[in-house]
Amino acid sequence: MRNLKLTLAYDGTDFAGWQTQPGKRTVQETLEQAVAELTGAERVRANASGRTDAGVHAVGQVVNFYSKTQLACDVLVRAVNAHLPHDVSVWAAADVPQVFDANHDAVRKLYRYVIHDGEVPSPFLRRYCCQSRHKLDVALMARAAKCLNGRHDFHSFETDWPNRMSSVRTVTHLAVNRFGGYIWIDVEADGFLYNMVRAIAGTLINVGRGYWPEEKVQEILSAEDRAQAGPTAPAQGLFLMRVTF
Amino acid sequence: MRNLKLTLAYDGTDFAGWQTQPGKRTVQETLEQAVAELTGAERVRANASGRTDAGVHAVGQVVNFYSKTQLACDVLVRAVNAHLPHDVSVWAAADVPQVFDANHDAVRKLYRYVIHDGEVPSPFLRRYCCQSRHKLDVALMARAAKCLNGRHDFHSFETDWPNRMSSVRTVTHLAVNRFGGYIWIDVEADGFLYNMVRAIAGTLINVGRGYWPEEKVQEILSAEDRAQAGPTAPAQGLFLMRVTF
C-alpha cells in the first residue's frame, strides 16, 4: 500500500465542514468518493491535518491516505480533480513514508481571517470574508495582537470542547494587514483550539472599531475565561492557508 | 422627478442576465424590486447601458431611472444595498440631467474576458473565469488581436440577432495579459454586437493554444462570416468593467 499525501483547496461555503457526517455534504466524504470512483471502488480513509468547520475554506489543507493505486502522482492529481466537484481542487500529490500522519505530524498551521470594512460589499468576494459595519484601525489591531505571540494558555479564545487536555498553544506568527477595504489577520501556531482564530478575530475587531482599548487583549488572555473575549467571528472569513510538517 | 444614475456590480452566476423575463431571476427585476421596497412601492424602470447575458458579470454596469425619492445619494447607496441580495451591489449614485440615458449616451464600454490555463482550477475563482485545457501563448494572442483594433465590420464575431442595422463597430482598445495562470482579454469599443467579446475570446483561445496561426484572425475579420471564427466562449468568464459617457 502507498501512503499518499494530497494538498487541497476548497470553498467551504457549501460544505458542512471537513469531517464526514451522515446525511451532510462534507469535504472528507467528497474526496473519499472521488478517490473511490477513480480507483474502482477502493474505500480510502482520508486523514486531514485538522478538521475545518462548516463554511471554513482551505487553500492548503493536507491529507494522507493509504491506497493501492498505481497512478503516478501528477496523473493522480488530474484524475482526482476530474472526479471532484468545482468547489474542491487537489493542488499536489506525493508519496510519503508509511509512518507519515497528516494530523499528528503537522508542526504548524497558518490560518487567515479576512474582513471587509469597505462601504459596499463586493458581490464577487462576499463568500470569502466577513463584513464589518465599522471602519477598523489596523495599526491598533496589530499592536493589540502582539501579546498573543508566544506560548500561552489560550482558554479565553476557545469554544468548550470535551476532553481537551490542555489549552496551552504557541503562536509563532501573528500579523494584521490591510489592502484597500480588506483586512486579514494571519495566525500561525503549533496547534489551534476550537474556534480559536475566530475568537481572536472577533476580539481584534472589537479593538479595531474602537469599542475596546488595545490593553484589553492582554487582560482577556490573562483571564483564561472565554466570556471575556469577543464573539466568534463568522466561518466564511476563515481560511486554512498552510500546514508545515 | 429625479433622474438617478447608479453604478453597480453583480455576480452573474445565479442570474438569467440583466433583462426582466417572466419567471426568471434577473438583475433588472432584482434592482427594481429593491428600489420599490425602499421608496414604498414606487415602480421604477431601470435603463442599463447594455443588457448582459445569463451568467455574465459586471463590475461597473451603469443604469438610470426616474424616481421621486428624496434620499441623498450616499444614503440611497446604503439603503438600496440593504435591500439587495448579496450578489448585487451598488457602488455609487448620482443625480444626472433629465435627458441622460445610460443606454444611448454610453460612448464606450470596456469588457474583460478571463481565462484560466493553470493545471488546477481554483475553487474560489471557478465562477469568474473559463478553464482552458491547453496552455495559451499570450504574446501570440496579443499579436493576433491587433488587427481587430479600429473600425471594422465585425459580422464574423456576432451571433445573429434580428433587425441589427449594422455590424460596423470601432474597437478603441484591445489587450491580452497574463498574471500567473490567469489570462484576461480587454476589449473597449463604441458598441458591441451580440456575443462579440465571447466570439473574439473563443477565436483568440484557438490562436493561443496553437490550433490556428495568428494571421487567421485577419482572415476571419475580412470574411464577415460567423462560421469562420472560433466558438462563443462561456459566459462565466465575461465582465462588463466600465462604461464611458
Question: CATH number of the domain that A63 lies in?
Answer: 3.30.70.580
Band (pLDDT 50/70/90 cuts) for residue B162 is low
Q: Is residue B103 part of a domain?
A: no
Active site residues of B: 53
pLDDT at B140 over 90: yes
CA–CA gap between residue B46 and residue A228 (Å, rounded) = 49
Q: Which three cell numbers stand for residue B65?
A: 431611472
Strand pairing report for A57-67 and A2-10 = antiparallel
If asked whether residues A140 and A232 sit together in one domain, one would say yes
- Most B-contacting residue of A124, A126, A127, A240 (CB-CB within 10 A), to test interface: A124
User: Which pLDDT value is given to residue B42?
Assistant: 77
Q: Provide the number of CB pairs (under 8 Å) joining chain A to chain B.
A: 52
* Final residue of a structural domain among A73, A96, A119: A96
Q: Which domain holds residue B213?
A: 110-244
Is the pLDDT at A63 greater than 70? The verdict is yes
Residue A119 C-beta-side C-alpha neighbours within 13 Å: 11
Q: How confident is the model at residue B39 (pLDDT cuts 50, 70, 90)?
A: confident
Taking CA atoms, B212 is separated from B1, B185, B215, in Å, by 55, 18, 8
Residue A117 and residue A184 in one domain: yes
C-alpha cell at B18: 440583466
pLDDT at B126 over 80: yes
CB-based contact A11 B124, cutoff 8 Å = yes
Q: Is A119 exposed, middle or buried (0-12, 13-18, 19+ CB in 10 A)?
A: middle
Does residue A240 share a domain with residue A122?
A: yes
Q: Do B20 and B69 lie in a common domain? A: yes
If asked whether residues B123 and B92 sit together in one domain, one would say no
Catalytic residue numbers of A, as ranges? 53
User: Per the CB < 8 Å rule, is B120 touching A87?
Assistant: no
Same domain, A122 and A57: no
> Mind giving me the DSSP string for B74-86?
HHHHHHHHHHS-T
Angle at A58 between CA A52 and CA A62, to 5 degrees: 80
pLDDT tier at B160, thresholds 50, 70, 90: confident
| Structural domain count of chain B | 2
Mean pLDDT of B95-118: 97
- Listed range (A38-42, A202-206, A219-223) with the worst mean pLDDT: A38-42
Residue B163: band (very low, low, confident or very high) from pLDDT cuts 50, 70, 90: low
Residue B214 covered by a domain: yes
For residue A101, is it within any domain? no
Residue A98's SS3 state is coil
The reply to whether B205 falls in a domain is yes
pLDDT of residue A160: 79
Q: Is residue A194 part of a domain?
A: yes
**Residues ≥6 apart with Cβ < 8 Å to B211:** none
Pair (A194, A230) in one structural domain: yes
Which amino acid is residue B124, in one-letter code? F
Smallest CA–CA separation between A176 and chain B, in Å?
22
Q: Do B122 and A89 touch (CB under 8 A)?
A: yes
Domain termination residue (choose one: A60, A75, A96): A96
Confidence of residue B156 (pLDDT cuts 50, 70, 90): very high
Strand, helix or coil at B125? coil
Q: What is the mean pLDDT of chain A?
A: 95
Residue A161 confidence (pLDDT) above 90:
no
Say yes or no: B56 and B127 in one domain.
no
Place of cell 448585487: B88
Same domain, A78 and A117: no
- Domain co-membership, A92 together with A164: no
CATH number of the domain that residue B141 is part of = 3.30.70.660
Beta carbons within 8 Å of A235's beta carbon, 6+ residues apart: A12, A53, A54, A55, A56, A198
Q: What is the mean pLDDT of residues A114-118?
A: 96
User: Quick check: B198 and B113 in contact, CB under 8 A?
Assistant: yes
Q: Is residue B238 part of a domain?
A: yes
At which of A96, A125, A159 does a domain end? A96
Whether A102 maps to a domain, the answer reads: no
| Shared-domain flag, residues A114 and A214 | yes
Q: Tens of pLDDT along A166-220? A: 999 999 999 999 999 999 999 999 999 999 999 999 999 999 999 999 999 999 9
C-alpha span between B156 and B224 (Å, rounded)? 5
- pLDDT attached to residue A139: 97
Residue B92 near residue B7 (C-beta atoms within 8 A): yes
